[in-house]
Each structure stands twice: as C-alpha cells, then as structure tokens.
Amino acid sequence: MPEPFDAVLMVAFGGPTKPEEIRPFLANVLRGVSVPPERLEAVAHHYEVIGGRSPINELTFRQAKGLAGLLELEGPQLPVYVGMRHWHPFASEAVAQMMRDGVRRAVGLVMAAHDSGPASWGKYVKAASDALEAAGPGAPRVEYVQACYNHPDFIAAMAEQVRSQLDAIPPERREATPLVFTAHSIPTKMAAASPYVQQLQESCQLVVKALGHTQWSLAYQSRSGDPREPWLTPDVSDILHTLASEGCRSVVLAPIGFVCDHAEVLFDLDVEAKADAESLGIELRRASTVNDHPRFVRALADLVRRRVLLG
C-alpha cells in the first residue's frame, strides 16, 4: 500500500514584492538566457509602472489559504505549502519546510490552468523536482493533478469575472461587444508539442456557452524571445486594431490563460492594451483573472480530492 497523501504543494511563478526585489527577481527569471541589458531594464520598468511589485505572491497565498480552509472544512484535511519558481518562498524553501514537518507524500498543483508543455507547465514541475532531488532521500514524493482548464468550477469562476464586465457595457451595445480571451503566447513549435491551444479553445468555448455570448475570439499577449521565431498569434494589439476597423466601440478582455492578476496582466493589458484601445476609440474593460474566486478554489479542492481518492 502506498503512503497516504499528507500535504498539498502549490507551485507558482513568484514575483517581486517591493521595488528593490525587481531586478534580483528578473535575474532569476532570465538566468541562463542571453538578454540585452536594455531589455531587462524595459521589463523592470513595467514593474515600476504598476507600483514596483507584483501581486502574484499575495494572490497565490490567498489561493492557498482558501484551499486549506476548504479542505479543512470538507476534507481531506491536508496542509497547503507554496513554492515559487523564481522568488521567495522558492520551491526549495517549501520542500525544506515540508521535510521539517514530516511530509512524505504530497498532491502537486501547478498554478496554471492550461498545460503548455515544456514552455511553462514543465518548468513548474522541474522547479519542484530539482528542489526535491537536491533535498535528498528524505524528500517527499509529489504527484501532480491535471490542468483545470475545463473544470466546471474554473469555468464558472471565469464566466462570473467576465459577466461583471459585460454587464457594465450599455445594454444597447452589450450583445455586439466582442469578448477577447487572452493567454500568454509561446513559440509555435512548443505549442505544437502540447495541448495548450486546444485546452485554451475549449476553456473559451465553455465560458461563452455559460455566458450565452456569441461574439468572441482568442488572442495572445506578452510575447518575448527571438523575434525571428514564430510565436502564437494573433496578438491582442492586432485584434484591437482589427475590431476598430470593423467599427467596434467596446471590448471586454478576459485573461483566461492566467490564474492571477500578475505583472503581465497589469501591464500588458491594463497599460499597453488600454492605451491601444483609447487611441482607437474603443472602450476597453478587462475582466479579472480567477484569483482566489471561491469557485476556482473549489476547483482546486476537487482536483486534490480526486487525486487522494485514487490512492
């Protein structure tokens, strides 16, 4: 008989919590990647524009607190640990704490709703695996649940976030207002080797079905890397220009590919895309990500519960 599960490990991206952490954080993200200093400074400026910090750590801990509370109430009663890829608490720090607490076997949650393969999902798992390997033979086992892209509670949470913005559009324009879902662009070669695009499409279709809204599209954002390499398109800016040329007066952006309102949502959408929309004469409203929405937390709890029941 396998050992029972005795904990949950949430693995998230991490982010700076104050201005002096921005550049050390970016150095961690870009370790081993050749990036011109001016590009690093440009990204650092993005963080400065949104207040000198990222809310991702705070939001991830709110998600963890909500999950722990729901598991305490409804079972299984498991403690929830948080380990980050690129900032404190690093995955290694979470593993060390788990070992001090005597954890032997944990359910792993990658804090992404869609499986982008080695481009992102695999890096979350690798960060935890490297930490576990470095910790030695006494480290706990971590077994991951599937992506929650089509979980009814994830869909319900996202639909509610979108509905609140659609409802703010004047009734005479609401039905014709396009809903543009966004997700992080990745190289097309990586996308072809993963279920990423298929999962995103399914998520979008389920949300619009729940909303009863027919005007929608999927766009990509936050492209980086070699400009000569093909990445997923269309870019959100291109979509906005196309919509403007068609006479669109309002649009709702829905960052379905993110589970936290972190820097790439707050800058790339709330600053850059908003500026684009204003220059085009489009009223832009941005739906929140799922963050710690109760239905999203319930989706996480259900995934944990199902994994525990499998033994």
pLDDT in tens, 168-183: 999 999 999 999 999 9
199/150 Cα distance (integer angstroms): 8
At 141 the pLDDT is 97
Dump pLDDT digits (tens) for 63-95: 999 999 999 999 999 999 999 999 999 999 999
219/184 Cα distance (integer angstroms): 9
Task: Tell me, yes or no, whether 66 and 91 share the same domain.
Answer: yes
Tell me if 1 is assigned to some domain: no
Reply yes or no on whether the pLDDT at 120 is more than 90. no
Task: Tell me, yes or no, whether 87 and 163 share the same domain.
Answer: no
Which structural domain range is residue 181 located in? Answer: 152-286
Tell me if 274 is assigned to some domain: yes
Confidence tier at 293 by pLDDT (50, 70, 90): very high
Tell me if 2 is assigned to some domain: no
Task: Tell me, yes or no, whether 178 and 60 share the same domain.
Answer: no
Mean pLDDT of 215-223: 96
Reply yes or no on whether the pLDDT at 119 is more than 90. no
Confidence tier at 55 by pLDDT (50, 70, 90): very high
At 226 the pLDDT is 75
**Mean per-residue pLDDT of the chain:** 95
Task: Tell me, yes or no, whether 272 and 210 share the same domain.
Answer: yes
Which tops the pLDDT comparison, 251 or 120? 251
Task: Tell me, yes or no, whether 244 and 297 share the same domain.
Answer: no
∠ CA 202-189-199 to the nearest 5 degrees? 10
Tell me if 51 is assigned to some domain: yes
Confidence tier at 96 by pLDDT (50, 70, 90): very high
At 174 the pLDDT is 93
**String of b and e for 170-185 (b: at least 16 CB within 10 Å)?**
eeeeeeebbbbbbbbb
Helix (H, G, I), strand (E, B) or coil at 293: coil
Task: Tell me, yes or no, whether 137 and 216 share the same domain.
Answer: no
Tell me if 208 is assigned to some domain: yes
Task: Tell me, yes or no, whether 185 and 238 share the same domain.
Answer: yes
Dump pLDDT digits (tens) for 1-36: 789 999 999 999 999 999 999 999 999 998 877 778
Question: Which stretch of 37-46, 173-182, 266-275 has the lowest confidence by average pLDDT?
Answer: 37-46
Task: Tell me, yes or no, whether 49 and 144 share the same domain.
Answer: yes
Task: Tell me, yes or no, whether 268 and 214 share the same domain.
Answer: yes
Tell me if 41 is assigned to some domain: yes
Into how many domains does the chain fold?
2
Task: Tell me, yes or no, whether 61 and 173 share the same domain.
Answer: no
What percent of the chain has a predicted confidence (pLDDT) above 70?
A: 100
At 219 the pLDDT is 98
Task: Tell me, yes or no, whether 114 and 185 share the same domain.
Answer: no
At 307 the pLDDT is 97
Task: Tell me, yes or no, whether 101 and 158 share the same domain.
Answer: no
For residue 301, the domain's CATH number is 3.40.50.1400
Whole-number CA gyration radius for the chain: 20
Tell me if 228 is assigned to some domain: yes
At 39 the pLDDT is 83
